[in-house]
Chain A
């Protein structure tokens, strides 16, 4: 067989097999930079909600922008090409009492003792824009 060419037949087969091998490694590595980016954005939104509602930290959307450089909004943004959604759930304060001790007046604010103190508002949502 004439070998006077840049790639021999055997070398081309080897190149094809090498490419296939590398692709297989990528297939099973499950690595994707985009996934990491989305997960990071989702985590920013999630951290904001848990700090604000579960840990009662006084933090607002401007603080998140300053800290992370990302824009978070508790209302769905309109016209943004890419937003990442995040959510958290927090049980409401019992009888709207934010402290351990409280006084309730029957007929005024004691109706909370007649039914479960949750509604759809226990779901907190945020949208993160890169």
Chain B
């Protein structure tokens, strides 16, 4: 057996071992990288789902607060409802996006279209509005991105009335302003809130509130 052969065989073994070790190191690094990217992609997709899941609450929250700001505890509207509602929705959407941000996932909500129009009430409410919001929710990181679209068509009904309030002596007290905020979609009522603007609540029989 020649010495040259052993030399070549050892060289081949060493080269093979080095190449294999290097490639397995690359394999581990690539697998680790894939693991991190996979978990990150899942987190991005989950965040987009979460953001989209809460989108109706953002709309309802802004509508309720706008209704109370314009019509609540006041005998006359204080501003144009649709203007206030649109501004409030944009503001709440920004706050919502900020709440869903963290160091890994960047979350953005973009209003694609808002429709708000006063409609004739057919249910006895003082005011009625048709409202629709079409919004895009995007979660992204350095390696993944997910966008979901959501849209709502709602009807907002407001009842703002001042009932006659009489104390025990038959004297009419100052008006107690009651308000009803009701929001429904094609499936029925989503919100049906009564707001008693006086505090403490006024009893029909008894002393007038201070």
Contact = CB atoms under 8 A, between A and B. Distances in A.
B130 interface: no
Contacts of B91: 116
Given A113-B64, A123-B99, A100 B190 contact: yes
B9 A12 contact: yes
Interface string A113-128: 1111111101100000
A87 B43 CA distance: 9
Interface in B37-67: 38-39, 42-43, 46-47, 50-51, 53-54, 57-58, 60-62, 64-65
Contacts, number: 168
B31 A24 contact: no
A27 B32 CA distance: 11
Interface string A90-124: 11101101001111111110100111111110110
Interface of A: 1-2, 4-5, 7, 9, 12-13, 15-16, 19-20, 23-24, 26-28, 30-32, 34-35, 38-39, 42-43, 46, 54, 87-92, 94-95, 97, 100-108, 110, 113-120, 122-123
Given A19-B20, A30-B31, A113-B68, 16 more contacts: A12-B9, A19-B19, A26-B24, A27-B23, A27-B30, A30-B34, A34-B35, A95-B193, A102-B191, A102-B193, A105-B199, A107-B199, A108-B199, A113-B64, A114-B65, A120-B99
